[in-house]
Structure 1
Amino acid sequence: MTSLFRYLPGATALVLDSPHSGTAYPDDFAYACELPTLRRAEDTHVDKLYDFAPGLGVGWVEAFFPRSYLDVNRDTTEIDVGLFDDAWPDAVATDPGVLSKVRLGKGLIWRVTDDGVLIYNRKLSVAEVQARIARCWQPYHAAVAQAIDAAHARHGYSIHINCHSMPAIASSHATEFPGEAHADFVVGNRDESTSSAPLALLICEHLKSLGYSVAYNHPYKGVELVRRYGDPAKDRHSIQLEINRKLYMNEASLEMTEGFVPLKASLQSLVERLLQTDPRKL
């Protein structure tokens, strides 16, 4: 794998990143489950849903590696120490809230798929996981930080949308609410700690005006990429946007459906609305 991610600098106050749409599986992954099972962890086609954005001057960062290899939407301390063949030498999170995903097997390095299928039949070495962090997590986060810093420097504020998709029905190991039927969209800002409430509610209302059902901070509040870069008191707004996969793809075959084109048009209208929005004036 020659390139691990794509970073396209923008000219506006808006930055989008897609951390989970990667489909390039590294040779050193050495997973034990079936690839089609593992691929259901991807936010498949999210990169294509937003491929209009760079043409509008929007900053864009996209992972090519899959989230099941390393999840850049986790902190490097969100480690399942039981995965390793030796003691993990670096810091490990202890906060119960932070560790909820680790308990589900979905920390920085996944232990199981959304459906609870074991990914590995071996112990991982400390060195190989440290290498994943160095090759994937560190440069991806550096690119997101650079894009947001540049947007903020240009305009005095930044809007960062962390782009995701979600299954129509929550799987057993995906959230704390297995079996829950998801809305069309979930807008998350960690209970209004990573963006202003007016900005998040503007997104909710815009999507509702297009006929979609929208949930706010449930069951997805946003994780590391909004927590780390959102600081509304400093006019840095980060929001996680989850799209229900039933709107645009067949969840079994991963093929795009006829809903892809109208959904993409809706997302472009949202991006265009955000490009016209100064959160300081809401």
Structure 2
Amino acid sequence: MQEADRPATGGTPDAGSTMVAPFEIHRPVQQTEPFVFNSPHSGRIYPEPFVQSSRLDRLSIRRSEDHFVDELFAGVVQLGAPLLAAQFPRAWLDVNREPYELDPRMFDGPLPPFANIGSMRVAGGLGTIPRLVAENMDIYRGRLSVEEGLSRIERVYRPYHASLRRMIAQTHVQFGKAILIDCHSMPASVRVAGGSRRPDIIIGDRYGASAAHDLSRAAVSFLSGLGYHVVRNKPYAGGFITEHYGRPSRGLHALQIEVNRGLYVDEARLEKTSGFDVLKADLTEFAGQMMDHVREGLSEDRLAAE
């Protein structure tokens, strides 16, 4: 059994102009594992004003979603770990960025001086308020008001991270360590430089900076044992969330997992394929193996030693 927390404030309007919670926390009846799972890009409730302001159709605007990733990892709740899942779409707000990575070309007035307007992600159109979805498609017909952009950050971004921070802190207090698994998907076209074979799954640990090597090695080993082609850190080493929350020396570990969409979704129609159920079962098995690995003798001294 499980229960879901839905924030009472900071909602976003859905297609019917009613307010919906921007994210949900799916909790086990009792948390028994030092893990927190996070799905920041799987939201698929599109505010109607946002859709109307976009030059994209209702299918194209979904191209940057991590399609159904919250469902792929839903089994972790039954295993005793909480899952935080966004309901708002990544194209509307990206919480895997600094809070104010903003592109001044998108707005109708000057941004506050503390905005980071020079990051590589902003230059690529993928800031906190994205300018593009996948395949370099512009989202907006015109410029946004500065007030609208800052409002999304205050109403949704900050509460989202406050909840994630609290979940990690509570886990750390309860178990003496906390392991964040940040869950994502990647296009089927992704290739590793120098190789022709597509990776099924990429594990990112910021090149060892966000998690103990033992955890990264275990993740690669378990997923490989389930039959997947797994690589580490290339081309995805982890984003803001992995970098920001991973502090191995303090017993706070963060791994990013990128799952190839070709395994489970039709990328043209954005619908699940027959591979979805198999992948979901395997990812639940993987999560259980990671939990067993930590439970069965992976001491904090060993986690911090590498």
CA distance in 2, matches of 1:52, 1:114: 28
Partner of 1:248: 264
CA distance in 1, matches of 2:36, 2:87: 18
Work out whether 1:21 is the aligned partner of 2:37.
Answer: no
Work out whether 1:70 is the aligned partner of 2:96.
Answer: no
CA distance in 2, matches of 1:118, 1:7: 31
Alignment of 1:128-143 (within 5 A): 128-143=148-163
Deviation at 1:110, TM superposition (A): 1.0
C-alpha contact (below 8 Å) 2:94/2:128 kept by paired residues: yes
Deviation at 1:228, TM superposition (A): 1.3
Work out whether 1:44 is the aligned partner of 2:67.
Answer: yes
Deviation at 1:93, TM superposition (A): 2.7
CA distance in 1, matches of 2:245, 2:104: 26
- What is the CA deviation profile of residues 17-38 of structure 1, one whole-angstrom value per residue up to 9, with x for unaligned ones? 1000000011332222112111
Instruction: Identify which of 68, 81, 92 aligns with 2:104.
Output: 81
CA distance in 1, matches of 2:213, 2:253: 10
- What is the CA deviation profile of residues 67-121 of structure 1, one whole-angstrom value per residue up to 9, with x for unaligned ones? 00000000113111111110001413377xxx22211111111111111111112
Higher relative contact order (CA 8 A, sep 6+): 1
Partner of 1:124: 144
CA distance in 2, matches of 1:75, 1:9: 26
SS in structure 1 at match of 2:59: helix
CA distance in 1, matches of 2:120, 2:214: 29
Deviation at 1:170, TM superposition (A): 4.0
User: CA distance change for structure 1 residues 38 and 126 in 2, over 3 Å: closer, same or farther?
Assistant: same
CA distance in 1, matches of 2:189, 2:120: 19
Work out whether 1:4 is the aligned partner of 2:22.
Answer: yes
CA distance in 1, matches of 2:120, 2:225: 34
C-alpha contact (below 8 Å) 2:102/2:117 kept by paired residues: no
Work out whether 1:103 is the aligned partner of 2:98.
Answer: no
C-alpha contact (below 8 Å) 2:182/2:254 kept by paired residues: yes
C-alpha contact (below 8 Å) 1:170/1:181 kept by paired residues: no
C-alpha contact (below 8 Å) 1:184/1:212 kept by paired residues: yes
Alignment of 1:1-282 (within 5 A): 1-9=19-27, 11=31, 12-29=33-50, 30-93=53-116, 99-170=119-190, 182-278=198-294, 279=298, 280=300, 281=302
- What is the CA deviation profile of residues 24-71 of structure 1, one whole-angstrom value per residue up to 9, with x for unaligned ones? 011332222112111111111111111112122111100000000000
User: CA distance change for structure 1 residues 90 and 3 in 2, over 3 Å: closer, same or farther?
Assistant: farther
Deviation at 1:224, TM superposition (A): 1.1
Identify, as 1 or 2, the structure richer in strand: 2
Amino acid at match of 1:126: V
User: CA distance change for structure 1 residues 94 and 112 in 2, over 3 Å: closer, same or farther?
Assistant: closer
Comparing 151-160 and 254-263, the one that deviates more:
254-263
TM-score normalised over the length of structure 1: 0.92
Amino acid at match of 1:259: G
CA distance in 1, matches of 2:233, 2:45: 30
Displaced runs of 4 or more, over 4 A = none
Aligned pairs, number: 274
TM-score normalised over the length of structure 2: 0.85
CA distance in 1, matches of 2:113, 2:268: 38
Deviation at 1:277, TM superposition (A): 2.8
- What is the CA deviation profile of residues 112-142 of structure 1, one whole-angstrom value per residue up to 9, with x for unaligned ones? 1111111112111110011101121111111
